[in-house]
């Protein structure tokens, strides 16, 4: 009997933690809403990466973009604040050793890997101004700059180099040579 009680409390605790984690993400960037699989495929091709180049997903959710990029021979790095989703992404990424990395945490507090060539983001509208400033800072530390693929929302005060369905593609310049 006791064992069932323990299981019950454990399940309740996990469910509460899951809901709390989902709610918290609203405060930091965007709630979890996965990109449609067919759209994820398009997003990776819009990045225009060469084999071995790195795509970063800021808020990688269940890791679908990372897996898709890795399958195509790219490297993929994901940041995810929700521990449950970070775990799922990490689990899915295990199939691509050395090609997929997942970091659990708040991406605003991280610097992007120096080798980042493209960034994908599916963030809530109110965070996009901040995102523009964050990415300009990050790209400014590189010579090559980076490509941003924004899903569903445009970046204020930036002119896209391409518009494709629900995507806006931007070139964020690096530091002057
Ligand atoms: C709209 S979902 C997109 C998930 C995934 N990129 C996709 O396209 O399927 C946004 C994700 O970003 C995560 N997130 C929001 N703010 C974050 C932050 N500051 N740092 C890391 N992850 C964050 C959320 O937990 C959520 O999983």
The pTM of the full predicted model, rounded to 2 decimals, is 0.90
Ligand 1 probe mutation, 24, 25, 149, most atoms within 8 A of CB: 25
User: How confident is the prediction along the chain (177 residues), in pLDDT tens digits per residue?
Assistant: 677 787 787 877 777 777 767 666 666 667 889 999 999 999 999 999 999 999 999 999 999 999 999 999 999 999 999 999 999 999 999 999 999 999 999 999 999 999 999 999 998 777 899 999 999 999 999 989 999 999 999 999 899 999 999 999 999 999 887
**Model pLDDT, residue 24:** 66
Angle of CA points 107, 139, 142, to nearest 5°:
120
**Model pLDDT, residue 18:** 72
Residues 6+ positions from 127 with CB-CB distance below 8 Å: 29, 30
Q: Which atom of ligand 1 is nearest to the CA of 120?
A: 6
Tokens of 104: 């659990």
**Model pLDDT, residue 114:** 93
**Model pLDDT, residue 29:** 65
Beta-strand pair 146-151/167-172: antiparallel
d(CA 45, CA 48): 6
Tokens of 128: 């996009």
Nearest CA to ligand 1 atom 26: 32
**Model pLDDT, residue 1:** 67
**Model pLDDT, residue 34:** 95
Domain boundaries, the chain: 2-172
Q: Which CATH architecture has domain 2-172?
A: 3-Layer(aba) Sandwich (3.40)
Cα(134) to centroid(ligand 1), Å: 16
Nearest CA to ligand 1 atom 18: 106
Give the binding-site residues of ligand 1, using a 6 Å CB cut-off: 25, 28-30, 32-35, 57, 59-61, 64-65, 79-82, 85, 106-108, 122
Q: Which atom of ligand 1 is nearest to the CA of 59?
A: 12
């Amino acid at each position: 009997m006791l064992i069932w009680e323990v299981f019950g409390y454990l399940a309740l605790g996990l469910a509460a933690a899951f809901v709390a984690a989902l709610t918290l993400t609203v405060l930091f960037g965007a709630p979890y809403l996965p990109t449609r699989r067919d759209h994820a495929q398009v997003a990776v091709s819009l990045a225009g990466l060469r084999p071995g180049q790195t795509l970063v997903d800021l808020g990688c959710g269940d890791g679908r973009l990372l897996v898709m990029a890795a399958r195509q021979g790219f490297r993929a790095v994901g940041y995810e604040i929700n521990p449950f989703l970070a775990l799922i992404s990490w689990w899915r990424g295990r199939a691509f050793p050395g090609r997929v990395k997942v970091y659990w945490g708040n991406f605003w507090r991280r610097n992007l890997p120096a080798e980042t060539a493209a960034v994908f983001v599916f963030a809530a509208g109110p965070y996009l101004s901040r995102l523009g400033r964050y990415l300009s800072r990050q790209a400014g530390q590189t010579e090559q700059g980076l490509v941003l693929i924004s899903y569903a929302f445009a970046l204020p005060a930036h002119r896209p180099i391409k518009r494709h369905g629900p995507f806006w593609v931007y070139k964020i310049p690096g530091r002057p040579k």
